[in-house]
Structure 1
Amino acid sequence: MPTLRALECLVAVLDAGSITEAAAALHMSQPALSHQLAALEREIGAPVLERLPRGVRATVVGRAVAADARAALAAAQRVVSTGRATARGAGGHVRLACAESMTAGLLAPVLRTWLRRNPAVGLSLTETTSADELARLIDAGETDVAIGPRPTRFTGAVELIGVEEIVAVLPPGHPLAERKLITFEQLRDEPLVHYHPDNGLAAWLDAEAARHQVTLTAAVRTRQAGTAARLAAAGLGVALVPTTALGGGAVPPIRRLRPGVTRDLVCLTATPADVLVRRFIAEVVRRGVPVPAAVATALE
């Protein structure tokens, strides 16, 4: 396959009508330019230039390939221009994946700032309910940055955003609302708004409860943490909910667990050297893990 340098030499000679002038324009020696042209002719299997007493001109083959040679050089220049524009935030597309419980509370503020500062950069978002699914999307090359709890297994780059607390959301008037802290033992016989097995929170919370010799009882199951909080507020049972899934408005009675239950929130990527990926992750980490003011007040 001909090199871009060989095509550049051909176009320069055709434009100048002279090997000497083309070599000067490309800051090459005449032998080096002639070597590139000879390599191109060997690749094609026919001469592309006819040597004249004064200068050169294209052969029939040379005229036939000239337009494509110019197009290839223009395309190569667009590759450079697009790459440079993307690196400075003037183009490109970043594929994001996020744990659904964090989309509104953690990711949305980052997206608002990012889109205002980088309006030419496209974003796409995939939501999941499993940290291991986030890792799979990265490993499969289907997303550039994944935001969520730390997966059980991942070999790519991991950057810590912060630590998130799991709290108990109580139905209005629930007896446990009189307590400042709630233990797993006190949840032993409580009907819970629990999570569907597809949601990684289900197995993780069951394992946390088992560490305290408690088996959680599900009255109803949902795939989404935000829905669990709303069902608890509607009186269907106690829900154990990450703080990022709680809205910033009025919140139902919420209490901390004793001992506290927390989890790391991380950014995953397979391309940490990518300029746009690195900048996006830096913005997520800079903002950290938010706790809505109403939630913070309720937990005081």
Structure 2
Amino acid sequence: MDLNLRDIRALVAVAEAGNFTRAAERLHLSQPALTVQIRRLEETIGTRLFDRNSRNVALTPAGRELLPLMRKSLHDMENVLRDARALGDGERGTIRLACLPTFAASVLPELVIGMKREVPRVAFEIRDVVASTVNALVRNEDADVGLTGGEVSDPMLEVLHTGVDRLVAVCPRAHPLAKKRRITLDDLVRSPLVLTAPGTSVRAVVDAALSETREAPDISCEPTYMMTAVAMVRAGLGITILPETAREVRAEPGLIVKPIDHPAFVRPIAIVKKRGRTLPVVTDRFVKLMQHAVVTA
């Protein structure tokens, strides 16, 4: 028979009370039940732990040596039990999130602050990466939940919530298109473009929209990161197309943001988890906060 939490509590209680009756009252047990429990414990360990007489009990030398170890074990096991209950109640834990950089740099900080107000003992592991990497991290269980872009077709991923991210054109204030109220598809095709690299969710939306025109777009460069695209626009290499929620679009005072007059310039976004996996309770709570922050179509 293995030692368990009740056995250790019984030994510590009897040692501290010096009496089976008082120890039984503390543990809410009958005295005979406690006596049987201590006897079983001694049989399991293979040595007598208490010397008994009609009035009190005293630890044997073996019992005195074991008591500090049992107290430490009891403390550790009670902490484990307390932490396990907190995990089960969603009152602590680590939220492992993979998400698009636009989300990480816009609404995520406020969501993290709000979550920490609700659950002070929550921790975060955040990976801000492109959509394909978000999907891979969730699929490989390196993240429990992800906020990804584009259509989710991976059968291993379950979509928890969907929304949209509208795309806008970003150009220098001196650019001819900066004077227009709205930019058309033809305007974009006739201008040099700084587009995010192929394989990114934004680029997939842009390529699909531009495919409706007969003219081939003039792509001047294809950076991976949005901040690099903004820097390229500032340098005069063209205009870029980025999500409206991206803070990069307003990072430069010399640039201006213009809406695009075409319904195709909308990026689908989704909150996903691995199919068949149960989210930690604290992560499930955070997903509900994320759902309120995602713009629905």
The verdict on a shared fold, with TM-score over 0.5 as the criterion, is yes
Return 5+ residue gaps in structure 2 as ranges: none
**Partner SS state of residue 111, structure 2:** helix
Change (3 A) 1:61 1:135: farther
CA contact (8 A) 1:135 1:154 kept: no
Q: Which of 238, 244, 250 is the matching residue for 1:247?
A: 250
**Amino acid paired to 1:259:** P
Deviation at 1:233, TM superposition (A): 4.5
Deviation at 1:121, TM superposition (A): 4.1
CA contact (8 A) 1:98 1:146 kept: yes
Separation (CA, whole Å) in 2 of partners of 1:197 and 1:31: 75
Is residue 265 of structure 1 aligned with residue 269 of structure 2? yes
Other-structure match for 1:13: 14
Deviation at 1:24, TM superposition (A): 2.6
Give the stretch that moved more between structures: 99-108 or 147-156. Answer: 147-156
Change (3 A) 1:260 1:208: closer
Deviation at 1:6, TM superposition (A): 0.8
Deviation at 1:69, TM superposition (A): 1.3
Is residue 182 of structure 1 aligned with residue 184 of structure 2? yes
Separation (CA, whole Å) in 2 of partners of 1:24 and 1:112: 45
Is residue 287 of structure 1 aligned with residue 260 of structure 2? no
Separation (CA, whole Å) in 2 of partners of 1:74 and 1:264: 50
What are the equivalent positions in structure 2 for 1:221-232 lying under 5 Å apart? 221-232=222-233
State the identity as a percent.
Answer: 28
Deviation at 1:132, TM superposition (A): 3.1
Change (3 A) 1:33 1:140: farther
CA contact (8 A) 1:50 1:59 kept: yes
**Amino acid paired to 1:7:** I
Separation (CA, whole Å) in 2 of partners of 1:212 and 1:241: 20
Please list the CA deviations of residues 21-77 of structure 1 after superposition, one character each: whole Å capped at 9, or x if unmatched: 322321123443344334433432333333334433323332222112111222233
Deviation at 1:176, TM superposition (A): 9.1
Change (3 A) 1:32 1:252: same
What are the equivalent positions in structure 2 for 1:106-185 lying under 5 Å apart? 106-115=107-116, 121-129=122-130, 131-149=131-149, 151-153=152-154, 155=156, 158-160=159-161, 162-171=163-172, 172-174=174-176, 178=180, 180-183=182-185
**Amino acid paired to 2:136:** R
**Amino acid paired to 2:271:** C
Change (3 A) 1:27 1:253: closer
**Amino acid paired to 2:287:** I
Please list the CA deviations of residues 221-263 of structure 1 after superposition, one character each: whole Å capped at 9, or x if unmatched: 2111243244234421232211111338855252315233323
Separation (CA, whole Å) in 1 of partners of 2:148 and 2:53: 69
Deviation at 1:165, TM superposition (A): 1.0
**Partner SS state of residue 47, structure 1:** coil
Separation (CA, whole Å) in 1 of partners of 2:37 and 2:206: 67
Deviation at 1:126, TM superposition (A): 2.4
Is residue 56 of structure 1 aligned with residue 67 of structure 2? no
CA contact (8 A) 1:6 1:37 kept: yes
Please list the CA deviations of residues 158-181 of structure 1 after superposition, one character each: whole Å capped at 9, or x if unmatched: 432632112233454346964834
TM-score normalised by structure 2 residue count: 0.76
CA contact (8 A) 1:177 1:254 kept: no
Give the stretch that moved more between structures: 274-283 or 198-207. Answer: 198-207
Give the superposed CA RMSD. 3.7
Separation (CA, whole Å) in 2 of partners of 1:199 and 1:52: 79
**Amino acid paired to 1:265:** I
Give the stretch that moved more between structures: 102-111 or 135-144. Answer: 135-144
Deviation at 1:208, TM superposition (A): 5.0
Return 5+ residue gaps in structure 1 as ranges: 291-300
**Partner SS state of residue 258, structure 1:** coil
Change (3 A) 1:167 1:70: same
Q: Figure out how many residues of one structure are paired with residues of the other and give that number.
A: 288
CA contact (8 A) 2:49 2:60 kept: yes
TM-score normalised by structure 1 residue count: 0.75
